[in-house]
Amino acid sequence: MLTKVYGSALFGVEATTVSIEVNVDKGIGYHLVGLPDNAIKESQYRIAAALQNNGYKIPGKKVTINMAPADLRKEGSAYDLPLSLGILSASGQVQANSLEAYVIMGELALDGSLRPIKGALSIALQAKKEGFKGFVLPEQNAQEAAMVNDFDVYGVRSLEEVITFFKDQQLQPTQVDILDKFSNGQSDLEHDFADVKGQESIKRAMEIAAAGGHNLILIGPPGAGKTMLAKRLPSILPPLTLEEALETTKIHSVIGKVGDKGLVHSRPYRSPHHTISSVALVGGGSYPQPGEISLAHNGVLFLDELPEFERRVLEVMRQPMEDREVTISRARFSVTYPSSFMLIASMNPSPSGYFNGGNNLLSSSPAEMQRYLGRISGPLLDRIDIHIEVNPVPFDKLSEETRGESSIEIRKRVIAARNLQNKRFSISPGMHYNAQMTSKLIRQFCAMDKTSKEILKTAMERLGLSARAYDRILKVSRTIADLAGETTITTIHVSEAIQFRTLDREGWLG
């Protein structure tokens, strides 16, 4: 007897429907074909034990299972449940109604209970697109999959519960009010700029970076507050939109990082250690998985002690920073992950951690500072819009009892500037903030008067800036003007943007 069941395979952050054909015939043997990986091949033992412990069995006949399309590699243990149902139906042990109307996924424990799967949201979106009636999956993933509107999602706890469902169709679908769940999940982070003493110029730079989505690097001695400031950046970023939240959830779902909350509510903040490999940073592997830059999509990627990262690891970020996506190619296929993130980096100015000069006995020579900075390539630094020095806070500031401006107040200005940008780029799909502007849009929205052009020309010649740096200064200028609520870029905005090229200023190493 032949039975057909439907599952799904993940391909990047997208899902592809897999048809599982189970045929039970005369003979003896268990044959599984269709490019399954070892986890799927081992499912025979999990399935046999789960069926035995629930009063069923793998028939003592020839069982042939084909997973189509046969040329698409399938991986993972999430096919246990559809394989089990296919075997039970094809052998006549269970009379399942409407089995082909549902996508079914789940990993079996030996007692028949179900364990969570990865990529539930992507699978649900694809199942709805292809017209399936519903999606049956482990209860732990039901909230996540139920984010798909007008689509029935059934969370189940065990194999027996699934069999009962297909006998009488009595199980109620999981209900989620996505707007309510999304709005309730929006909350302020625990870190607040009000706790930061002094550092007004750094706060200003971070406000500009947040308003325009610009990359930023902080350079300063140990204990100056670089990491503390970076941790507070997400608190002034605009809340995720529902579209961004779903997009971000899809990426985190692929590696099983969503959990039972069902939706990623806040902007990601990723801070990998400097010993990270290039594959872990940008993604990859035999079966490509998203890396840190994709997990930081729509959020912040913080690289602390930037020169301590291996140079080849940093260099692989150059293309994703420009294209805002990363493509991982293998011999027979390639996958693309989104990677639109804000890069926040920090570094000491030298191996000793201190600038040249002053009374500090650990101060470094200009040559030592230059060699240390040389660990970071010029092209990578060129892709960072804002460079700023972080100096230690004097005792008088540290001992003040008054609190600084809160993140909530700063965020209001950032949101107002982002609203202007959303209105400006409304005719450009997928573009939301100034850092994403192309050269064409820069010419359209970043026009300068004659005086501003002269100031920028002088800075370009004096500092030897590249054409990319020119574009980035204009983008930052546009953001500064947006924060001021002004439609045109003036000399004040351009001058401030030029000041944020710290690493290019004469005397930085002196």
Q: Measuring CA to CA, which residue among 295, 294, 314 is closest to residue 303? A: 314
pLDDT at 507: 46
Q: What is the pLDDT of residues 309-325, one digit of tens each?
A: 999 999 999 999 989 99
Residue 485, judged by CB atoms within 10 A of its CB (0-12, 13-18, 19+), counts as exposed
pLDDT at 177: 76
Residue 243 has, within 13 A of its CA and on its CB side, a CA count of: 3
State the first-to-last Cα distance of the chain, in angstroms, to the nearest integer. Answer: 82
Instruction: Pull the structure tokens for residue 411.
Output: 């965020």
Predicted confidence band at 183 (pLDDT cuts at 50, 70, 90)? low
For residue 339, the one-letter residue type is S
Predicted confidence band at 358 (pLDDT cuts at 50, 70, 90)? low
- Give the residue with greater pLDDT, 183 vs 344: 344
Q: What is the pLDDT of residues 257-290, one digit of tens each?
A: 887 677 888 899 999 999 999 999 999 887 888 9
Instruction: Pull the structure tokens for residue 283.
Output: 């993604």
Predicted confidence band at 385 (pLDDT cuts at 50, 70, 90)? very high
- Give the residue with greater pLDDT, 304 vs 334: 304
On whether the CB atoms of residues 335 and 375 are closer than 8 A, the answer is no
Answer yes or no: is pLDDT of 402 > 80.
no
Instruction: Pull the structure tokens for residue 169.
Output: 């169709």
> What average pLDDT does the structure give for the chain?
89
Q: What is the pLDDT of residues 283-304, one digit of tens each?
A: 988 788 899 999 999 999 999 9
Strand segments (E) across 85-128: 102-104, 107-108, 114-115
Tell me the C-alpha distance between 94 and 92, whole Å.
5
> How confident is the model over 417-427, as a mean pLDDT?
92
pLDDT at 506: 45
Where in the chain are the domains?
A: 2-176, 199-394, 437-510
Predicted confidence band at 217 (pLDDT cuts at 50, 70, 90)? very high
Q: What is the pLDDT of residues 123-144, one digit of tens each?
A: 999 999 999 999 999 999 999 9
DSSP 394: P
pLDDT at 20: 97
On whether the CB atoms of residues 364 and 348 are closer than 8 A, the answer is no
Q: Which CATH class is domain 199-394?
A: alpha beta
For residue 90, the one-letter residue type is A
Q: Which residues contact 292 (CB under 8 A, 6 or more apart)?
A: 270, 272, 276, 280, 281, 282, 301
- Percentage of residues in the chain having pLDDT higher than 90: 64
On whether the CB atoms of residues 388 and 502 are closer than 8 A, the answer is yes
φ, ψ for residue 273, nearest 5 deg: -75, 155
Tell me the C-alpha distance between 45 and 42, whole Å.
6
pLDDT at 223: 87
Tell me the C-alpha distance between 375 and 343, whole Å.
18
pLDDT at 21: 96
Question: Comparing 199-394 with 437-510, is the CATH topology the same?
Answer: no
On whether the CB atoms of residues 38 and 1 are closer than 8 A, the answer is no
Tell me the C-alpha distance between 254 and 120, whole Å.
8
On whether the CB atoms of residues 36 and 30 are closer than 8 A, the answer is no
Q: Which residues contact 109 (CB under 8 A, 6 or more apart)?
A: 46, 50, 115
Element (H, E) at 450: helix 450-463
Tell me the C-alpha distance between 154 and 160, whole Å.
14
- Range of weakest confidence among 108-122, 234-248, 278-292, 395-409: 395-409
Tell me the C-alpha distance between 446 and 481, whole Å.
10
Predicted confidence band at 451 (pLDDT cuts at 50, 70, 90)? very high
**Is 437-510 assigned to CATH 1.10.8?**
yes
CATH (residue range 2-176)? 3.30.230.10
